[in-house]
Structures are given as C-alpha cells and as structure tokens.
Structure 1
C-alpha cells in the first residue's frame, strides 16, 4: 500500500541509441513507477526526452506485459515458474545439441541488445556456451555494411567515426533521417535542437534523400536522388575533389595510403557521367563538393538508407573516404572516434585475417561477417530438410517473424 513516500532513481532510456538520461520517480510503498522525466544533469541529453521515454510509465503497469515465463500448451500459453522454464530450456536444447550438434541451434539477437549493458555482458556468454555458428541478429538488416567498411578502413567492425554535430560547420546527410531516429550510430539526443543550433551558428545542413524527409524539410538544401545510387554520387564528389585539386587530408597525411588508387577508382565517375543515373545535376554535385571541401569543418553521415541497398558497403566506405580526403576524420567538427563505455577492439590493431567468409550458410552458401550470417537466410535454414538443419531457435529481445 502506498504511503506517499517516493524515491528518485537516475538511469538512461534504452529504447534507442540516443540513450537520454531519465529521472524516475518510484512509489516506495508499492514499488511502482509514477513519473519519468528528463535528467537535466545528463551531459548528453541535458533534460531532453522524447515520448517513448515517458511512455515507459504505462509500459511498466501494462496488464499485457509478460512478467512470468509462459509455456505453450496446445493453442494457449500457461504460466510456469522460472525454475521450470530454465530446466525445460536446458533439457531440450541439450537434447538437440547431443543428437544433432551445436549448429542445430540458432540464435537471434534483436536490436535492444545493443542498448543494454546487461545484455552486452551476458548474451555473448550464452551464445558461446551454446557453441553454434548459426548466429543471426538485426544487424544484417541494419548496419552490417557500415561495419564491414569500418573493418576495411579502421581494422575493427566496431570502430564507428561519428559526426561531431555540435561543432561542425557543414553537415551532409545521405540515407538518414536523424530528426526521427534521434541520430542512429551518433548518440545525440535532442536532434532537432542540435540541427537548429547548427544553422543558428551559420552552419549548413544538406540532406541527400529520395524523399522529402522530416530532416530534409528543415535543411538548407534537399537534394533528391534516385534510390540506390548513393555510391555513384559519392564517387562523383570524390572525382570533383581530385579534379579540382581540393583534396587535403591534413594531419592524416602520414596515416593514409592509396591516394592514387582512389583517384583511379573515381576517374570514370564525373558528375556528368552519373547525372542521369542519380538524377542530380552536375553543377549541384560540383557545388556540393566545393562546399564540403572548403568548409572550415565538415561531416558526411549516412545510415540505414545507405546500408540497405545493393552497394551498401561501397557507399558506407565512400562516406568515410570523403571525410578522410577532406581532412575531417578524427577532427573536432568532423567525424570522430568516441570513447566507449567499455573497451572494444579499437582502430589501432588490424587482425591477421578479415572476420569474413570463415563459414557459410547451409542452403544458399552466403558468407558470415563478424561472426554472424545474414538473417535473410534464417527461415530457409529452418525449413529446408537435411544435415545441419536448424532445429531450435533462441531469440533475445527480438521478433524475427
């Protein structure tokens, strides 16, 4: 029974990558969340939260929320204890592993795992204990091409160079809508406020996107592009930068190799040669190349629309190549490597072998990358009879159906 006393707990919202700081008020008597608001002392969000955070109050008390393990009994589910649930899972997975091998068990990790420190610590241990190579996640329908490009450029899939949005003078966005996503792979709460501040300090916002997105609607310039042609457009920018002698890697000069190879790669892709395919006038491409290269600081950023296309890896690679070629990598106001909350492989060491194509899917023979297979193959690995068929699926914070 409530006695009116409350406690205030400070956490961060894990519903998206912005990780806004939240102040949670809990009724001490019944242990019930009664209020959630932004944490004004949080250095990232500074008191900002979106409706998803405030909606967590209702989620915590929703009668449809699953609070106990449920076991299927015919067409219905029956509540069972945690002890019985864990024993049942261990027994059935153990039988399948013994009879058919570890690879008869597949795992699927949903997007929320990436936003939760507890999941980051515990789930890899579970997957390792199962011992399966049949690992899937939301990553392969999200940012895996970007991670592949990270490996090629920086030596680690997790080495993301993110825009220093608060200090940049020129922000070029391709295939992203940060006003809605809150800046995926950027961790920048209050995106509307940050983009407004960019323009108020005299900066420029350019959005290249087939749609007039919410972000494009507030930009200084929206450049419509034919879907799937971002790599051609980026090559044309790089072609212009070389052609008009705008390339300047600055302090990165001693660390960058392959200038001439890149110049040759970009040579066939003049703004005129790609204009019909991209739908972008050559003069627009040339002007943007000059503006980006001559800006005091600039950052090029691409996201889901870049990754989920035929040349997603190439386009992701070209975005960071553009940042490097103009001296905007690892620079205030450009794109920078943030300090993570916990250590990862980092950009300093390259592994002796690319974490790619060490095994392949059974049905179509598609290669793994960074330890996982394309989730597009999961259904066929379950449905197709034969040796190595997936007979059990463990999902964590995901809904692959």
Structure 2
C-alpha cells in the first residue's frame, strides 16, 4: 500500500475495485465502514453484489474482466471535462499525451457497451474521484488475477496520477495483500527476479554486493521461474521440489495439470504445519512451526514490520522455517550458521536499504513502516511525497482486452472464484478449528435465479460445474448476488476443488493466472 490502513477512514472518496473488502479483509473493511460513517463517498466496482457493494454509494456491477475499459473511461471523462490535476501532471509525471491519446476512444458510451455500467454513472464517479480532496483506491486479486492484471494496475496508477491523488494522506494506490506476511516474503526476495528489497538480480552491482556479503561467486543474473512456471516444469526440467506452506494441489489453476506434474517429480519435499493435500504426495514431509511457535517478524500490507514472539514451544520435531532452511543449506554444502531470528534480521538490515533502520531492539518498542533507512528514521506513513522513487511518475497507457476464455454455446457461463469470510486459502487451518467449519460447514455455487430456472436447478441441488479442463460437484445457491450468466464459488474447500476447473492462462508480465474468469457449463446432478 502506498498509504496506511488507518488513513482509509479519513478518505473523502474510496474506489474499491476487485476487492470484496469486508469478507476478504474484514479489518480493513472496518476502516471503510468508519469512512462511510464520516461521510465518505464509496464506489465499488465488482461483478458481484457483495456486502461492501451493498454499503457503497454506487455499485459499478461491471462485466468480469472489463476493468481497463472502466478505468480508461473514468480517465477519459476527467480529461474531457478538464478535471485533471494539471499542476501535478506537469510537475511530477511524464507521457501524459500518450495517456490522453489512448483513452480518447473510451467514451462513456463506448465503456458502457464493454462494462455494462451506464454512461451517466461513469460520469458521476469520475467527477467524484477527481474533485475529492483525498481519494483512495483499494484493490485486490479481483484486479490482478487476469491475463491483463499488470495492465489493470497500470490503469489504476494512471488514474491516481491524473488526479494527483497520491503522495498525500488518505489517498494513493492500495493493494490489500491476501495473506499475513506475503508483503514480507516479497520484501525478503521471495520473487524470482529480485534480491531483498526489490533489488533486481539482473543489475551487476546488486549481484556483486550480495556475492561479497554472502561469500559466494557467480550469482545468476537471469530471473528464475515463477510459481506457475515451476509447476509447469515439474517432472520435466525440474526433477525435485521443496514446497513451503503452499498447497498447489488445491490452489493452482487447472489443478489436475498441477497434480499430474507434481506426481511426476523424482523427489518432493513439503514443509508445512499440517499434512495438506500436497504434503500427502511428498516423499518427505518436514514439520514446520506455526506463527505462535517461533520468533521473527511479519511485514503486513501497509509495509508495517511487526515482531512475532514465540508463545509456546513447537511440538515434536517441528522447527522454525529458518532453522529448517539453514540445516538443508548446510547439508548441501553452504553453511548457514545462524543462532536466532534476530541475527537474521540484523543481516536483513545490512543488505536491505528500506529496512536499514529497523532492528529487533527497535521493534520491541513498536512496529515500523518501511522505508526506514536509518536508526533515527521514524518510518514512512505514506509514500511518494514530493517525488516518486523513479523521479517522474510515468503514465502507462493500456488497452482493454477481453478475458482469455469467454462463454460460448458449449460453455455458456462465466465462473469467478474468490474467498469467504469464515475460511482461509485452502482451508488448511480454518477447517481444523472445531468452530468455523461448524458455523460455515459447506461450500456452494452462487447462481442467478434466471440461469437456475433455465437449467431446472433448485436451491440446494447438487450440480456439476464443467470446464474444458475438469469438473467438480457442489451444492447450488440461487441468489441475486451474481448476475445472469455468471456463477461464483470459493477455492477454500477440499471437497470442492474448484481449481480443477479454472484457467491457467497467465498475465505475460506478472505470470499470475486468470482465476477470475473462465467459461463453464453447469448441470444438475441427477
């Protein structure tokens, strides 16, 4: 997030796009509700009539995958009505003319044809966003899990810079991270193209720095494979795999393909706290410690670094992840002789500029937001004050493209997937609580009453969801949450492995799959 969670409640205008905030991020959802109570205008762009859409002033019930058209349409109106922040654009950005030229054809009427959102509603939203003293854009995987996910984010950044809604409080571009420490994992270099703190491996000076610090030679300058590419190459170029805290048998798209490749590995190691569906395929399972059984830090969605303190000892032979990794590395010939998580964090501060001023000792007195480059620095509440990290903010004009797979005569419905409030990821933890699975015991497929009537489906009927890749069975729930032509379910139930159906087509830049749109047919199970 460019800004902080607490700032959301003071935003004058909030555009939440591709985020079911109150269910997927309930803590942040509370901040949105506070903003509503303070009089903020909230606009939600989502194909489903979610809880937060019901709370919003305006619900833009767009067609799945039409985000770029919507965002370009808002930019078109803002430029046409001379509402853009001319001083900000002149002083702090470049390539405005290219953006202006690209969005010129995205008139309200043209965008209405693509998105289904009335032209007059688009104008109301564009005026509200441009005129607000502070406007915050929130988004999650409903924006990124498309073949054009990176371009969707470019379109958000374009709109933000166009109106000068960045570099100040209660504004900005605010992606809400989907897991508690995914931000920290990325910060620490768990990305194939970067060393810690997003230092590109392709830069010679970066490689030289880490070679000297780690006492190694010839670190590769070519980015490695992404998660999806690793699964694709499993059993082919990749013969052995260590999977930590992931459950791709359920979470990867086209899950039958993922399972087939994983089963073809010569050697599979899974490091986890439970015997997941993926761990059941492993040659070796390494028992890891949970968050309450180890020391360290988490870095959350607002870049806030927080201490994690051991509350209980790990059971049996379970160990902290850093201990397991160190033991494996040492056994493979590169000794890692760390004695504590604090010692590792001290190394992090030496090689990671944005964490340079953070230490375990400082975190004893409270959390800090990076960038925090020196021990005297207070941390950074919001980013891009005065100038961007690259100097001038660059407009990236992008064009709308349809999803990879659209409905046709054989597969007439669009399936979208997401999360439910009461469960998490593939249910590895939340379906072992003894409470949540009782309160919310079974998954269902949301289907509009018009589609259900055509298919002869009644509420509660068992149905079969079929795509070009696979099929699953699930109970039907007839509802107006989804529009005709669309069905929705979550990926959180092992007995409804919906990712056997989803499409593995990827964004060519981020390599994220298009989980949010695939063509399916639904039939009643007799």
Q: Normalising by structure 2, report the TM-score.
A: 0.38
Higher RCO (CA-CA < 8 Å; seq separation 6+): 1
Kindly indicate which of the two structures has a greater share of residues assigned to helix.
1
